[in-house]
Structure 1
Amino acid sequence: MKNAIVTGYSSGIGEAICKILEENDFTVLKLKTRLEDSLNLEKEVKQLLKNHDLELLVNCAGLGVFKPHEEISVEKIKELIDVNLTAPILLCNLCLRALKKTKGHIINISSIEATRHSKFSALYTATKAGLRNFSLSLFEELRRSDVKVTNINPDLTKTNFFDELNFEPSSAKNAHLLPEEIAKAVINIIKFDGVITDITLRPQRLEIKKVKK
């Protein structure tokens, strides 16, 4: 059995990734500390790695806000940066020595927004573009250590990510992705004989439905 740490494991893409990993002989080590709490997160990870080897780190937790930048509170700005960017960078830092021992794999779940520039997405795009570029640079750093680094950019995926937003993917079958499809891509990436450094997953059509909150 191999060990994996997966953030965002309680729902959506993270939950689907945990399920498929467990079906493929991984044990998922689930962090209990909130990702915004960097001090206690560091303590928990260090304690966990004293008792377990680590073959895989999947940074999947993410938050979104899409509105005029001046309307976003300072607290929400900090929360998005902490969860979407700071926590993955911190977890990579804390896990790297363990991953070097096993020649493991880091997979960061970014977003289609990391590859483009959309209206009302400046903050979210900044965090996800930062994560994507961190991933690509980290791969270059780690090539000689044989630690693989992959960045995944999912497009609209039908999850509870949209519960607090005023839009969601259309229910049309070919206008959204499912969490299980992202999870299948993760397994294929892990099994690939080489390194997939950056991959974008998209539905065929773009259809967004407005939702009244």
Structure 2
Amino acid sequence: MKKAIVTGFSSGIGKAICEILEENNYKVLTLKSRLEDTKALEIEVKNLLKENDIDLLVNCAGLGIFKPHEEISIPKIQELININLTAPIILSSLLLRTLKKTKGHIINIASIEATRHSKFSALYTATKSGLRNFSLTLFEELRKSDVKVTTINPDLTKTNFFDEFNFEPSENKNAHLLPQTIANTVLDILNFDGVITEITVRPQRLEIKKK
């Protein structure tokens, strides 16, 4: 049985990815450390690797904020950078030796915002575009080691990501994605005979609803 680590596993896209992996012969190992606590994260991962080889890392945990940049507090700026960008980079570093051993796969869940420049999204876009470019560059570094690296850029997906925002995806089923859609994309990527380095997944329509 292959083993995977998935961040953001408790809800939304991360939970759906865990469910589909478990249905397809993966054992998902969960991390208890807060992603912002890099020292605790390092200790936990190193202890986990004493008894496990990892075949798959899915960096799915993410936070968003969409407001004028001068209105964002410095602690919030640091929190988004830590969770959206720093933690995936650190986890990739900690797991690369085992992933080289298993000829494994890193899948980073970025965002449609990593590919464009939207109003009030400067901070979020910076973290997600950083993750996207980290992934694409890391693939080039790891090609000879047979470790695959993939970036997924989801558009509006109906999850609790929008709970604290003043907008959310419309109820029109053609205007949002479901977490299961992204999870199915992960499975397709894992089963692909080759490497999908990047994929952007979008609904047909663009509609949002103000709260």
What residue identity is the alignment partner of 1:76?
K
Q: Which residue of 2 aligns with 1:117?
A: 117
Moved over 6 A (4+): none
Quote the Cα distance in structure 2 between the aligned partners of 1:63 and 1:167.
Answer: 15
Q: Which residue of 1 aligns with 2:139?
A: 139
String of CA shifts for 1:106-125, please: whole Å, max 9, x gaps.
Answer: 00000000000000000000
Q: Which residue of 2 aligns with 1:64?
A: 64
Shift of 1:59: 0.1
Q: Which residue of 2 aligns with 1:168?
A: 168
Q: Which residue of 2 aligns with 1:49?
A: 49
What residue identity is the alignment partner of 1:133?
N
Q: Which residue of 1 aligns with 2:8?
A: 8
Unaligned runs of 5+ in 2: none
Number of aligned residue pairs = 211
String of CA shifts for 1:29-78, please: whole Å, max 9, x gaps.
Answer: 00000100000000000100111010000000000000000000000000
| Structure-2-length-normalised TM-score | 1.00
Q: Which residue of 2 aligns with 1:195?
A: 195
What residue identity is the alignment partner of 2:99?
L
What residue identity is the alignment partner of 2:116?
R
Quote the Cα distance in structure 2 between the aligned partners of 1:18 and 1:72.
Answer: 32
Q: CA RMSD in A?
A: 0.3
Shift of 1:23: 0.1
What residue identity is the alignment partner of 2:118?
S
What residue identity is the alignment partner of 2:84?
N
Quote the Cα distance in structure 2 between the aligned partners of 1:160 and 1:51.
Answer: 34
String of CA shifts for 1:61-97, please: whole Å, max 9, x gaps.
Answer: 0000000000000000000000000000000000000
Q: Secondary structure at the match of 1:131?
A: helix
Quote the Cα distance in structure 2 between the aligned partners of 1:167 and 1:35.
Answer: 27
Q: Which residue of 1 aligns with 2:180?
A: 180
String of CA shifts for 1:161-205, please: whole Å, max 9, x gaps.
Answer: 000111100010100000000000000000000000010000000
What residue identity is the alignment partner of 1:132?
R
Unaligned runs of 5+ in 1: none
Within-5 A mapping of 1:72-151: 72-151=72-151
Q: Secondary structure at the match of 1:174?
A: coil
